Chain A
Amino acid sequence: MSSQSIDSTSTRSPWMSSLLWKEFRQVVPLITAVLIGGFGLVLLILVLSAITIKKPLSFDRGFWFLFLSMPMMYATGVGALLVGSEKESRSLQWMRSLPISSKQIAWNKLVVAIGTLALIWFVALTAWCVFASAFGGDPMAIGSLVAKHSSGSGWLLATYVLMSLFLSLAGLAFAWRFQSQFFGLALLVPAALALWLPAYGLANYLSTKSYGTETQQFIDTVLYLLSLAIGCVGFLAYGWRVSQRELKALEPPVRTSGVTGLVRDASASERRSSEAWMLWPRVSPISGMLWQMVRQNGIWWIAYAAVGTALLLLCSRSSLFLRNGNLSEDLIGFLYIPMAILSGWLGVLAYHSDGIQQRVRFYADRGVSPTLYWCTRHWMPVTLILGLCLVRYITNFGRSGTPLDLVDAFGFLAILLASYCIGQWISQFVKSPTIAAISAPMALVAMFAYGLFAIVGMESPWWLLMATFAVLSISTVWMMRPWMERRIDWKYYLQHSGFLVVALTIPLLPGLWKISTTPGISKELRETLNRLATSNPLMQGNASRRSLVKEPESLGDFYGSYAGVGGTLEKIQARLESNEKFRARYTQDFIDQIGSTNFWRSSLDVESLLRTYIAELARLRSEILIERQSTSESTDKQSQTAILNYRKILGGVPNLVRQLRASHDLKDTDLSDRIEIIALSHCLDPSASESMSQAVFEPLVELLTDDRSRDESRRIALANAWREQFRGSLGVGPIYYSENPHQVDSGSIPSGVQMLYGRDQFVADLWRLLNVKPGSPESISQREKIRTKSYYSHGGMNDLIDGTIHLGFPNNMPATAWRGNWEHLTKQLRSEAKDHE
């Protein structure tokens, strides 16, 4: 059937729709890759920001560029995919054999390219508007949707759209013109520069004319838009012309039937090639394979090495680590990021250069070892990377004069190798070279973000990331045979995905292990605590007892006497006098009320109340002692009052302590412990029983030596506090309690989990403390362990050491008096009481 006899007019419609659908199907993988990559990056950055930045995420205009990358990436690759892949699979020849004119083929590709580009733009803009609104930002904040104040920023969107159109048209044109997809993609860069540089130069020249800021911005914008428009029209015309020329060249020959002619020509061509091949000198397989790689990729390797060397020379004597310890952002942006992307593309080239036109089947059909094939693909690229590492070290040697030069060089090597590993894995995973080339940078960003997450978020050791990239390399060795034989099916992708999952999981293992081994409380203890809390709930009214209960006037005046004096001499004098009066009047009130639990609970400053308690008891005791030593009769009345008050205060301690314990509240229990410590310090005084009288001393001894009741009340209070999540017991929210409490706010997930379990750990440790004997080495070590694991341990523990009451600084940690030295000292009271009996 002759192509000239084909009348395509009558059959245009059904062909057209099918053809359009075919073209659309062809770009679906790219659309999918771009959208998944773009939205995936947004999600990744949101998740990483939420983990590493402790404050809520806020709107940032920078996110716009993530959404913008989607149409830009698509525009870059659509041309190569639509035309390049068809050239590679030789389906263009097949299409030319159909009754479809070259104009229709080219037109359909153009329509699909622009139409799908528009679709991607629509999706990206819609997603951006939704995203910006969700974060409370203004979608118009990019200044590109509305021309505001006649400034150039109002035309940014138009510039971006035109730029994407230019890239897609230029990509199509280069894909028609050149056989190699990579070359066509690479040419986009000089093409864009050729367009941008004149516009930039002209804008720069015109900026010297001092037209004013707004006018200048307008001129700049118009110049860029104009150059882009010219570029679009130019590449449209050029691409059309080239497409027609290429398609016409693919027309089947007229004189013979298309298929027979093709077969006959192919046979002749193959025969000539095989004859020529037989005349070539014999070479070893390895050298042949290497030679083939050199011939195929040599130009790319040279370009990579040249760009890398140039960048390294430009960045010579620039250390990655600045003097202030931060990383050099210039070096990262100018050297590390470009080299990482180039290394990723180098990896993509490793297999896709053979994937084009199924060249690898040549090796597969001849039984070449996959391992040998793998080694020969990576030999030169890895050597190049090693060479660049050496160049980095040499050009940077002695910059800091420390081993950090070596860290810099090997860090550079690691980034290049890691990027290469990712690129070569993508090369085998993604069938289309265009999609692989476009998705490689996105994959690099994703892997870098993942590495950061693994190290920061999951506390992974940095060296474990080497295993990730090693697994990606091993996976390509493992899957080399099916790849060579082109057995790319669902099983192939499943196996590769498995390797990827393993590679990504390895760095997470230490963090996951830490999470899984975070101690909590056992099931038995949980049940015991629940049972205790249920059967001994908090007493009614305790929850509000610390709220705005007005203190007695005298007490408030006492503590607040200095506050807000005003600073004039008269006011100070007045305050001095009123303090004296209050003290004289208040002291007896204090003594009369101190035995009441309401008095303690209504106080807003328990620490000051405790110190007053200690001071008054000490004063009374010293008065009693002075009276004993004095022979004067005039002090009789005073000393009698002192004795009475002393006994009154201490006599009220057993009742006070029991009432506080009866509330089942941990804060009250802790207060009762501190009161017991104070009472103990007085009971241990040699003349205690004489000063207090037996009527006061014996009940105190009974109270202080009753370890069982004390521990029982502690257990109940602890159970209630645990059930209430320590609300009311602690001033701050979570309990910072872990093996290393200083790390709990490091932002990592394992530390966060430890913090979440901190409450349970704390309770479990305290429970363990209560199960050991007071004064035993185990109790001392367990108490110290609890102290070190508490973030708030700087306040000190409550105890009685060498007769001195240690109240420590006020802090929010409960149970600081448990199993202190004072509990061991109560045994002395027991023996003294027995002696007394």
Chain B
Amino acid sequence: MSNMNKIPFPSWLIGLLSTSIIAVLAVGVLAWQWIAWERKIAETENQIRSASDALFQTPAGPLGEKTANPQATDTALKSQWRDILSQVQHPYFKNQIDLFFEEPYFSPDPQVGSPQDKPRVVWLMLPESLGKFVLANRTFLDSIHDAIAKSAELAPFYTNDFRSFQALCDLIFLDAASCLDSHEQARFDRALESVYQTQIINKQFSRLDTVNSAIVCLLHRGLDENLISPTQASRWLERIYQDTKPDLGDAMVAPDKVSLFRSYDERWGHWQSLPSLRMAMFDRYFQETAAQYLTLPTVLDRIKFQDSLRYYTLAVRVAMQNAVAQNPGLSRLPDGFDERLQIPSDFRQAMADSRLDDRSVYSIDRTTYELKSATEGQLSFVLPGELTSGRHPIGSRYPMAIKAP
């Protein structure tokens, strides 16, 4: 037994043991570091999850509860709105509205003129049919105008059916459009106001909606038919700017991780994997989703540009009408016309900052005015197809009557 105590411990075994211990310790240190990383990532994941849960659990206040408007408690008004929104659900209205906003097939008849000269939407092309439709539903339309007038500030619309509300907006637009042919001044004014109010409300549902499109279209048509004066148009321009400028900048914000996490977690959260892998997958999901919004700025940019361009055309037209009235002999755009234009800087900025390659095509430099005759001039714009076609088209050429001083 005593000999056993003197058995030498080979040096190579010591080396082997040391190597093993070093390897185990090194891997242990790495494992400890890894666990620490995973716990940190798991904490981050839990924070995002909690924030996401809180975001989705917070009930969104219904529209109309933003203010303590006493009208919100007016039961008669509520009842009136309920009836209106119920009636507008009728398939008859949906069908007729869709037909009136249709752009019919165009046969390229040279006598008809180029598509750009004449916007091709049914409500413009069939004023008689439009008039019949409006007449058949006059009572209902009057009740709508009445309800809107009574609900002057942020009318409490008790509906989650946006289709019904959109149908409502389209109906009163058609009502206003019908007055262009019948020249009903009072009705047109009332309808214009209703259109404007509903467009403001509609924009709260969908920030991408272009408020300007309907109103600017009607104002241009109103000027064409002399239903509104340039002075009234200027006032409208001021109102449009005041009511829509805050929304130009934040039309659409790319979602952040908190808002996207819920949909990801519902789908993949049950997979038992490491927090780092889950978060890596979520980061990839977020990048792919957010990338869609990165491409959208092109779309958003175009919408903002077009909104500004609509406003711009109306502002230029009103300014030119005033200029021509003061100086009938004007044969072209005055020098420095652009600088003197009363266009808010936000709109100018939106047009200048646009990343569209073709924005210069539609700028003031391409806007022209020429004398057609002693009594008529013509203001011409270069406008993209989205403005000269669609549901609310505007023209690119505007005749200007020259009155002798």
Across the interface, do A742 and B129 meet the contact criterion of CB distance under 8 Å? no
Across the interface, do A611 and B91 meet the contact criterion of CB distance under 8 Å? yes
State how many angstroms separate the Cβ of B44 from the closest Cβ of chain A. 12
* Residues A578-598 near B (CB distance < 8 A): 579-580, 583
Q: Tell me which residues across on chain B come within 8 A of A746, comparing CB atoms.
A: 270
Across the interface, do A626 and B133 meet the contact criterion of CB distance under 8 Å? no
- Given A282-B7, A579-B92, answer yes or no on A407-B99 (Cβ-Cβ < 8 Å): no
The answer to whether the Cβ of B116 comes within 8 Å of any Cβ in the partner chain is no
Across the interface, do B125 and A569 meet the contact criterion of CB distance under 8 Å? yes
Nearest CB in chain A to that of B100: its residue = A576
Cα–Cα distance between A291 and B87 once the two chains are bound (Å): 95
* Residues A582-631 near B (CB distance < 8 A): 583, 608, 611-612, 614-619, 621-622, 625-626
- Given A403-B276, A580-B133, A611-B90, answer yes or no on A569-B7 (Cβ-Cβ < 8 Å): no
Q: Which of A379, A390, A406, A616 has the most CB of B within 10 A?
A: A406
Across the interface, do A573 and B129 meet the contact criterion of CB distance under 8 Å? yes
Q: Tell me which residues across on chain A come within 8 A of B7, comparing CB atoms.
A: 282-284
Across the interface, do A612 and B82 meet the contact criterion of CB distance under 8 Å? no
The answer to whether the Cβ of B27 comes within 8 Å of any Cβ in the partner chain is yes
The answer to whether the Cβ of A455 comes within 8 Å of any Cβ in the partner chain is yes
The answer to whether the Cβ of B298 comes within 8 Å of any Cβ in the partner chain is no
The 0/1 profile, CB within 8 Å of B marked 1, for residues 234-263 of chain A is: 000000000000000000000000000000
Across the interface, do A393 and B122 meet the contact criterion of CB distance under 8 Å? no
Q: CB < 8 Å: which of A573, A743, A803 contacts B158? A: A803
Across the interface, do A462 and B272 meet the contact criterion of CB distance under 8 Å? yes
The answer to whether the Cβ of B284 comes within 8 Å of any Cβ in the partner chain is yes
Across the interface, do A393 and B30 meet the contact criterion of CB distance under 8 Å? yes
Across the interface, do B8 and A281 meet the contact criterion of CB distance under 8 Å? yes
Q: Tell me which residues across on chain A come within 8 A of B140, comparing CB atoms.
A: 619, 622
The 0/1 profile, CB within 8 Å of B marked 1, for residues 740-763 of chain A is: 101100100000000000000000
Q: Tell me which residues across on chain A come within 8 A of B41, comparing CB atoms.
A: 403
Across the interface, do A569 and B104 meet the contact criterion of CB distance under 8 Å? yes
The answer to whether the Cβ of B206 comes within 8 Å of any Cβ in the partner chain is no
Across the interface, do A618 and B23 meet the contact criterion of CB distance under 8 Å? no
State how many angstroms separate the Cβ of B278 from the closest Cβ of chain A. 11
Cα–Cα distance between A576 and B281 once the two chains are bound (Å): 53
Across the interface, do A802 and B158 meet the contact criterion of CB distance under 8 Å? yes
Q: Tell me which residues across on chain A come within 8 A of B129, comparing CB atoms.
A: 573, 576-577
Q: Which of B95, B100, B122, B160 has the most CB of A within 10 A?
A: B95
Q: CB < 8 Å: which of A460, A576, A743 contacts B133? A: A576
Across the interface, do B34 and A567 meet the contact criterion of CB distance under 8 Å? no
Say whether chain B's binding surface is mostly helix, strand, loop, or mixed: helix
* Residues A306-334 near B (CB distance < 8 A): 321, 324-325
Q: CB < 8 Å: which of A383, A559, A616 contacts B20? A: A383
Q: Tell me which residues across on chain B come within 8 A of A567, comparing CB atoms.
A: 102, 104-105
Across the interface, do A619 and B158 meet the contact criterion of CB distance under 8 Å? no
Q: Tell me which residues across on chain A come within 8 A of B37, comparing CB atoms.
A: 403, 406
Q: Tell me which residues across on chain A come within 8 A of B149, comparing CB atoms.
A: none
Q: Tell me which residues across on chain A come within 8 A of B87, comparing CB atoms.
A: 615, 618-619, 622
Nearest CB in chain B to that of A575: its residue = B99
- Given A410-B31, A567-B105, answer yes or no on A626-B284 (Cβ-Cβ < 8 Å): no
Nearest CB in chain A to that of B129: its residue = A576
The answer to whether the Cβ of A290 comes within 8 Å of any Cβ in the partner chain is yes
Across the interface, do A407 and B274 meet the contact criterion of CB distance under 8 Å? yes
Cα–Cα distance between A619 and B88 once the two chains are bound (Å): 10
- Given A577-B129, A580-B136, answer yes or no on A572-B92 (Cβ-Cβ < 8 Å): no
Across the interface, do A568 and B105 meet the contact criterion of CB distance under 8 Å? yes
Cα–Cα distance between A291 and B9 once the two chains are bound (Å): 12
State how many angstroms separate the Cβ of B95 from the closest Cβ of chain A. 5
Q: Tell me which residues across on chain A come within 8 A of B26, comparing CB atoms.
A: 386, 390
Nearest CB in chain A to that of B283: its residue = A325
Q: Tell me which residues across on chain A come within 8 A of B33, comparing CB atoms.
A: 406
The answer to whether the Cβ of B232 comes within 8 Å of any Cβ in the partner chain is no
The answer to whether the Cβ of A673 comes within 8 Å of any Cβ in the partner chain is no
Cα–Cα distance between A807 and B83 once the two chains are bound (Å): 15
The answer to whether the Cβ of A226 comes within 8 Å of any Cβ in the partner chain is no
Across the interface, do A407 and B158 meet the contact criterion of CB distance under 8 Å? no
* Residues B18-34 near A (CB distance < 8 A): 19-20, 23-24, 26-27, 30-31, 33-34
Nearest CB in chain B to that of A605: its residue = B91
Cα–Cα distance between A407 and B35 once the two chains are bound (Å): 10
Q: CB < 8 Å: which of A380, A402, A580, A807 contacts B132? A: A580
Q: CB < 8 Å: which of B13, B89, B122, B281 contacts A325? A: B281
The answer to whether the Cβ of A562 comes within 8 Å of any Cβ in the partner chain is yes
Q: CB < 8 Å: which of A291, A455, A576, A579 contacts B272? A: A455
Q: Tell me which residues across on chain A come within 8 A of B100, comparing CB atoms.
A: 576
The answer to whether the Cβ of A225 comes within 8 Å of any Cβ in the partner chain is no
Q: CB < 8 Å: which of A383, A389, A558 contacts B91? A: A558
Across the interface, do A804 and B99 meet the contact criterion of CB distance under 8 Å? no
Q: CB < 8 Å: which of B27, B95, B136, B276 contacts A562? A: B95
Across the interface, do B104 and A572 meet the contact criterion of CB distance under 8 Å? yes
The answer to whether the Cβ of A40 comes within 8 Å of any Cβ in the partner chain is no
The 0/1 profile, CB within 8 Å of A marked 1, for residues 140-184 of chain B is: 100100000000000000111100000000000000000000000
The answer to whether the Cβ of A561 comes within 8 Å of any Cβ in the partner chain is yes
Q: Tell me which residues across on chain B come within 8 A of A681, comparing CB atoms.
A: 82
Across the interface, do A459 and B91 meet the contact criterion of CB distance under 8 Å? no
Cα–Cα distance between A463 and B284 once the two chains are bound (Å): 24
Across the interface, do A390 and B89 meet the contact criterion of CB distance under 8 Å? no
The answer to whether the Cβ of B45 comes within 8 Å of any Cβ in the partner chain is no
Nearest CB in chain B to that of A323: its residue = B284
The answer to whether the Cβ of A477 comes within 8 Å of any Cβ in the partner chain is no
Cα–Cα distance between A622 and B83 once the two chains are bound (Å): 7
Q: Tell me which residues across on chain A come within 8 A of B13, comparing CB atoms.
A: 286-287, 290
Cα–Cα distance between A387 and B273 once the two chains are bound (Å): 26
The answer to whether the Cβ of A724 comes within 8 Å of any Cβ in the partner chain is no
Q: CB < 8 Å: which of A282, A462, A579, A796 contacts B96? A: A579
The answer to whether the Cβ of A685 comes within 8 Å of any Cβ in the partner chain is yes
Across the interface, do B79 and A685 meet the contact criterion of CB distance under 8 Å? yes
State how many angstroms separate the Cβ of B181 from the closest Cβ of chain A. 15
The 0/1 profile, CB within 8 Å of B marked 1, for residues 789-827 of chain A is: 000000010000011111100000000000000000000
Cα–Cα distance between A612 and B4 once the two chains are bound (Å): 103
* Residues B77-112 near A (CB distance < 8 A): 78-80, 82-92, 94-96, 98-100, 102, 104-105
Across the interface, do B102 and A565 meet the contact criterion of CB distance under 8 Å? yes
Across the interface, do A583 and B267 meet the contact criterion of CB distance under 8 Å? no
Q: Tell me which residues across on chain B come within 8 A of A575, comparing CB atoms.
A: 99
Cα–Cα distance between A615 and B83 once the two chains are bound (Å): 8
Across the interface, do A287 and B132 meet the contact criterion of CB distance under 8 Å? no
Cα–Cα distance between A386 and B27 once the two chains are bound (Å): 7
Across the interface, do A608 and B83 meet the contact criterion of CB distance under 8 Å? no
Cα–Cα distance between A779 and B158 once the two chains are bound (Å): 24
The answer to whether the Cβ of B38 comes within 8 Å of any Cβ in the partner chain is yes
State how many angstroms separate the Cβ of A646 from the closest Cβ of chain B. 12
Q: Tell me which residues across on chain A come within 8 A of B291, comparing CB atoms.
A: none
State how many angstroms separate the Cβ of B104 from the closest Cβ of chain A. 4
The answer to whether the Cβ of A409 comes within 8 Å of any Cβ in the partner chain is yes
The answer to whether the Cβ of B139 comes within 8 Å of any Cβ in the partner chain is yes
Across the interface, do B91 and A612 meet the contact criterion of CB distance under 8 Å? yes
The answer to whether the Cβ of B16 comes within 8 Å of any Cβ in the partner chain is yes
Q: Tell me which residues across on chain B come within 8 A of A461, comparing CB atoms.
A: 272
Across the interface, do B276 and A460 meet the contact criterion of CB distance under 8 Å? no
State how many angstroms separate the Cβ of A428 from the closest Cβ of chain B. 23
Q: Tell me which residues across on chain A come within 8 A of B4, comparing CB atoms.
A: 282
The answer to whether the Cβ of B3 comes within 8 Å of any Cβ in the partner chain is yes
Q: Tell me which residues across on chain B come within 8 A of A435, comparing CB atoms.
A: none
- Given A559-B91, A803-B78, A804-B158, answer yes or no on A618-B274 (Cβ-Cβ < 8 Å): no
The answer to whether the Cβ of B10 comes within 8 Å of any Cβ in the partner chain is yes
State how many angstroms separate the Cβ of A679 from the closest Cβ of chain B. 13
- Given A573-B129, A804-B159, answer yes or no on A410-B34 (Cβ-Cβ < 8 Å): yes
Nearest CB in chain B to that of A685: its residue = B79
Q: Shortest 6 CB-CB distances between A and B: which pairs?
A: A618-B86, A461-B272, A615-B90, A403-B37, A406-B34, A386-B23
What are 5 of the A-B contact pairs (CB < 8 Å)? A283-B8, A290-B13, A568-B104, A618-B83, A686-B75
